[in-house]
Amino acid sequence: MMGYPQASASASALALPHVFASLLLLVAAHAFASADNVSNALQASQPSSIQITLSKQADAAIRLEARDAPLGQILKAIADKTGVNIHYSVLPEAPVTATCVGANVGQVMDCLVAKQVGLVAHKSQKDHPAEFWLLGSSVGSCQAVTVAASPIQVATEPQPTREEQAQIDQMLQEQVDQLLKQAQSKDPNVRSMAINSLGSLGAKNDPNVDEALRNALTDKDVNVRSQAIAAIAERGGANLEEQLSLALKDKDVSVRLSAVGLAKEDDIGIFQQALNDSDPTVKELAQNRLQAVTSQQGQGDEATAAEAGN
């Protein structure tokens, strides 16, 4: 739905297996402070490794050590360990080696990705954990991160037979039907899980799924609304900008952040609308996205001019 993610969800929203096209990494808050140093190797496979240590030391409360690990896995490890929400769409595919130490998770995130992909931070509030938005995927220079090219191997997978495909389609439809029922649950956590999964599992031409997601945009629970806009952005469609614009009017800042973060690069109207938002973080995210679009357009114009001169 790491298309810009998306908004916050509780840990239970990750219970169902699903795949996000516009990866939205959301986890519930865990206890951050620890009485003793806690060191946990989160990636057992070698040579890749991810290790996060929490400490009482004020200037080194968090220590991240990663070796040849995918950036997406590192971000998930940080979110799981600290309880923050991290939103992103596209990440560099090459493995990352990094050592980052900071007094808080914001400093570690800044060390890890700020110079690579751009970063907007939203401090934790009473009802919401801290949030981080990764703005792009251009690989830059950063002392803490070493990116090495990784060869891509394309494997040919056997295609299912007609009978097997029919069984797969039937199983998927049964799962979607169950999710549509769960989207009507009285439990907001169940609704959030269902909406989350409908974004990736529901057929793009299924009107029942579209209706469920539209209704979820006005749900009384903020997590459900956040999942709804993320799912809608993942599915795309002709009405995407209209629905993102509606989400920009949400009373909760996390939903509005999701709308800006999940908008496509050509949704300039969404970014311009968000520049008038009452929250400075939403404004900052909109400004960064507009600047990124302008920069890309400038690079394209320069390339065109260079070709014309040859």
* CATH number of the domain that residue 183 is part of: 1.25.10.10
φ/ψ of residue 264, rounded to 5: -75, 165
Q: Is residue 255 part of a domain?
A: yes
CA atoms within 13 A on the CB side of 223: 24
Statement to judge: residues 173 and 295 lie in one domain: yes
Report the C-alpha gap between 151 and 153 in whole angstroms.
Answer: 6
Q: Is residue 275 part of a domain?
A: yes
Return the pLDDT at 17.
Answer: 34
Q: Is residue 203 part of a domain?
A: yes
Between β-strands 24-25 and 49-54, what pairing exists: parallel, antiparallel or unpaired? unpaired
Query: Into how many domains does the chain fold?
Result: 2
Return the pLDDT at 302.
Answer: 58
What does each of the 310 residues of the chain score in pLDDT, given as a tens digit? 444 333 333 333 333 333 333 333 333 333 333 333 333 433 344 568 898 988 777 666 788 888 888 888 999 899 888 888 887 766 777 888 888 888 888 888 888 886 666 667 777 766 667 777 776 543 333 333 332 333 444 455 567 788 878 887 888 888 889 999 999 999 999 998 899 888 877 778 889 999 999 999 999 999 899 889 988 988 887 788 899 999 999 999 989 998 998 888 888 999 999 999 999 999 999 998 888 888 776 665 555 555 666 6
Q: Is residue 61 part of a domain?
A: yes
- Residue 118, phi-psi category: left (phi > 0), alpha (psi -120 to 50), beta (remainder): left
Statement to judge: residues 125 and 180 lie in one domain: no
Statement to judge: residues 291 and 176 lie in one domain: yes
Alpha helices in 132-252 (DSSP H): 162-182, 188-201, 207-216, 222-235, 240-247
- Final residue belonging to a domain, choices 147, 170, 195: 147
Residues near 31 by beta carbon (within 8 Å), at least 6 away in sequence: 83
Statement to judge: residues 142 and 255 lie in one domain: no
Statement to judge: residues 95 and 31 lie in one domain: yes
Question: Can you give the residue range of the structural domain that contains 186?
Answer: 162-300
Q: Do 2 and 23 contact (CB within 8 A), yes or no?
A: yes
CB atoms within 10 A of CB 58: 8
Statement to judge: residues 87 and 212 lie in one domain: no
Report the C-alpha gap between 228 and 223 in whole angstroms.
Answer: 8
- Final residue belonging to a domain, choices 85, 115, 147: 147
Statement to judge: residues 55 and 111 lie in one domain: yes
Strands annotated E in the chain: 24-25, 38-41, 49-54, 62-69, 85-87, 96-102, 119-122, 131-134, 145-147
Statement to judge: residues 58 and 142 lie in one domain: yes
φ/ψ of residue 268, rounded to 5: -60, -35
Return the pLDDT at 92.
Answer: 74
Q: Is residue 307 part of a domain?
A: no
This prediction's pTM? 0.51
Q: Is residue 128 part of a domain?
A: yes
Q: Is residue 136 part of a domain?
A: yes
Q: Do 22 and 6 contact (CB within 8 A), yes or no?
A: yes
Q: Is residue 247 part of a domain?
A: yes
